Amino acid sequence: MAKTRAVHRNAKIIADRNSGPTRLGSQTLFRGLDVVEVVADGPVALAELAARLGLTRSTTHRLASALVDRRYLAFVPGIGYSLGSKLLELGYKVRDELDLRRVASPHLERLAMITDDTVHLGVLDHGRVQYLEKIPGRRRISISSRIGELQPVCSTGLGKALVLDHGEEHWANFFRAEKNVRQPFSQAEWLARMRNYARVGYAFDLEENEDQIRCVSAPIRDVGGRIVAAISVSSAAQYMNDQRMQTLSKDVVDTARRISHDLGWSREEPEGRVPRPGREPTSVQKPLRQMRQEKVALVRRRARS
């Protein structure tokens, strides 16, 4: 499958190049970029690289050698060309220059410090959740998330927070699109939970994405009030009982609101939207209680089988 996608993409690269500017300088630049994009699929020998690009070996060698000299590519005898350290360096610069990450960083650090738990920052990327930042907590807990990876919407706290404003039709579409992903609940149950989360302005992951890991998440809004990102606090279930999750929700929502304000959002939430710590509203209490009942039922079914 990956090979097929690479072939189609390489064909598009060649077609785009042939239909684009023909001036020598532009053509050389585009060909160099083509080389980088093909090598991004994995290490490739010179002969295969030339074949994928539709170029002669000599032209391909000249382009690749120039990119090696500038560290955009690396060359290992017997293996071929791979991406070079310059791209990693530029990648870190791009990440550091992202306004969202730069603005959010001090707030995320503070949230991690006051909770002792792992803090995430994520955005919606083509129907999936992409992690932009992860600040590990101080507890001895391993959470498998990685910066840059994509995760489902329906089973993650970040995902739910990112789509709070989408409405039931879009929520149902997300659920159906992820039907092959682990989902310990029906579509009707998930929609009911999303209605509850949208009402209070934050969302939970109740061990849906990773066993024994729970999280509280809240959306970040831009100057126009649109949800552009979300943050979460994640920890082991032993540190995340129902009462603590409800208490944490205020810290998470407050942090998300401060980041939103720094991005230009100024509208205040309606009075009473965020409950006081220790007072769990019925709308949130219900999914927590349902989760416990579902887990008990699952254990009983396994015991009988």
Q: For the chain, which residues make up each domain, given as ranges?
A: 2-89, 98-304
CATH T-level fold of 2-89: Arc Repressor Mutant, subunit A (1.10.10)
> What is the model's pLDDT at position 137?
86
- CB of 128 closer than 8 Å to CB of 150: yes
Beta-ladder partners of 134: 120
| pLDDT value, residue 300 | 56
Q: What is the pLDDT of residue 134?
A: 93
pLDDT, position 279 = 35
Residue 220 identity: I
The CA–CA distances, whole Å, from 34 to 25, 50, 55, 170 equal 14, 11, 11, 37
Integer Cα distance of 122 and 133 in angstroms: 7
Q: How far, in Å, are 15, 112, 113 from residue 162 at the CA level?
A: 37, 20, 24
What pLDDT score was predicted for residue 209? 84
Q: Residue 79 burial (CB < 10 Å; 0-12/13-18/19+)?
A: exposed
Q: Write b or e for each residue in 55-70: b if 16 or more Cβ atoms lie within 10 A of its Cβ, otherwise e.
A: beeeebeebbeebeee
pTM: 0.60
Fill in the amino acid letter for 44: V
- Residue whose tokens read 């955005």: 123
Res 4: pLDDT: 46
Question: Cα(47)–Cα(122) distance, rounded to whole angstroms?
Answer: 40
Q: What pLDDT is stored for residue 3 in this prediction?
A: 47
The Cα–Cα gap between 159 and 126 comes to 12
Which residue ranges in the chain fall short of pLDDT 70? 1-25, 93-98, 182-183, 268-305
The CATH fold of domain 98-304? Beta-Lactamase (3.30.450)
pLDDT tens across 200-232, in order? 999 999 988 888 899 999 999 988 899 999 999
What integer pLDDT is reported at residue 295 of this predicted model?
52
- Confidence at residue 274, expressed as pLDDT on a 0 to 100 scale: 41
